[in-house]
Amino acid sequence: MELTLDSPLDMHLHLRDGDMLKLTAPLSADFAGAVIMPNLVPPVTTPDMMLAYAERVREALDGAAFTPYMTLFFTALGEKELTAAASAPGFFGFKLYPAGITTNSEGGVSNLTEAEHTLRLMEETGIPLLVHGESHGFVMDREQEFLSVYRHLASTYPKLRICMEHITTAAAVELLDEFPNLCATVTLQHLLITLDEVAGGMLQPHLFCKPIAKRPADREALLQAALSGHPRLMFGSDSAPHPRCKKEACGCAAGVFTAPVALPKLAELFTTHGAADKLQDFVSGNACRLYGLTPTPKKVTLSDSPMQVPSRYCSFGQEVVPMYAGQTLPWSIKA
Ligand code: DOR
Ligand code: ZN
């Protein structure tokens, strides 16, 4: 069996910088483009930083037909700065992190009132707001607790396009249907695993991410929303590579490196559930419609012939372990 996708997009991707960028970028090059996260050290906060980073991303991709949709780390900005950002080539939107909520987010927002003016301007200008939606509460409740913030944002700024990034709960899926200006991304791992896979047996550091994987009912709700073709749900891998020594460590960094297996696993997931016809919209169509994107034309054919996942990727002095390291997957990308 084969499945051909038109211009698949990854609507949430961490590529990092330097040698790690050189290693990871080519592993996403089967996608036609991706929304590139700005949580570098220091975070990408100005158009100049963003343009320079986009250039490094393109260099790392070495001529691949791949569009980096660039984001800026949300900070409170005035009209002049916002206009400059909006007109920077390749700019896609702002990524808002609550301060300290995840990797390199210390400079995020600690009080939403400081963001009000900027959010109003973004609403008027049509700039998308991408949000890491977690509170600082108990780890399993963080997303659920943040839903009131989404409600507040969606009703206060009814024309602001708000993306709930990497949703992990049934409650977040339900919230999508309350507000037409909300959309969401969901990762591969949150469609596949629960907290049991992370910590139910021996601790699996390579499956540890934020938000943490939740309960079976949450995974089921996410999966059903994806398989049924929810029009405002998009694939965003949140593939977040960390050096192996930072994952297999006392004090494990959060992030699952899924880029190399994302498309084969999605093909497997959608075909085994009889939903192959819904995959195109999930990996591209919904994003193109919601954000008005016209990605680089690219056809990617997947087939049900096995893929041997490397136990690690090593180059440029970096070592990263992918999800399903060392395993054989039933689907692969046809060369
Ligand atoms: O697990 C995660 N890793 N969640 C995030 O929000 C950030 C990401 C990273 O950058 O490592
Ligand atoms: Zn992320």
For every residue of the chain, which 3-state class applies, written as one string?
CEEEEECCEEEEECCCCHHHHHHHHHHHCCCCEEEECCCCCCCCCCHHHHHHHHHHHHHHHCCCCCEEEEEEECCCCCHHHHHHHHCCCCEEEEEECECCCCCCCCCCECCHHHHHHHHHHHHHHCCCEEECCCCCCCHHHHHHHHHHHHHHHHHHCCCCCEEECCCCCHHHHHHHCCCCCEEEEECHHHHHCCHHHHHHCCCCHHHCCCCCCCCHHHHHHHHHHHHCCCCCEEECCCECCCCHHHHCCCCCCCCCCCHHHHHHHHHHHHHHCCCHHHHHHHHHHHHHHHHCCCCCCCEEEEECCCEECCCCEEECCEEECCCCCCCEECCEECC
What is the CB < 6 Å shell around ligand 1?
14, 39, 102-103, 132, 209-210, 240, 254-255
Q: How far is the CA of 36 from the centre of ligand 1 (A)?
A: 12
Ligand in nearest proximity to the CA of 242:
1
Provide the pLDDT for residue 267. 98
Provide the pLDDT for residue 64. 96
Provide the pLDDT for residue 105. 94
Give the atom of ligand 1 at the shortest distance from the alpha carbon of 241.
11
Annotated catalytic residues are 238
pTM over 0.75: yes
pLDDT tens figures, 235-271: 999 999 999 999 999 999 999 999 999 999 999 999 9
Q: All domains of the chain, ordered by start, with CATH?
A: 8-261 (3.20.20.140)
Provide the pLDDT for residue 335. 79
Residue numbers of the chain with a pLDDT score lower than 70: none
Give the atom of ligand 1 at the shortest distance from the alpha carbon of 132.
6
Q: How far is the CA of 2 from the centre of ligand 2 (A)?
A: 30
Ligand 1 pocket test, pick from 39, 135, 212, 257 with the greatest ligand atom count within 8 Å of Cβ, gives 39
Ligand in nearest proximity to the CA of 237:
2
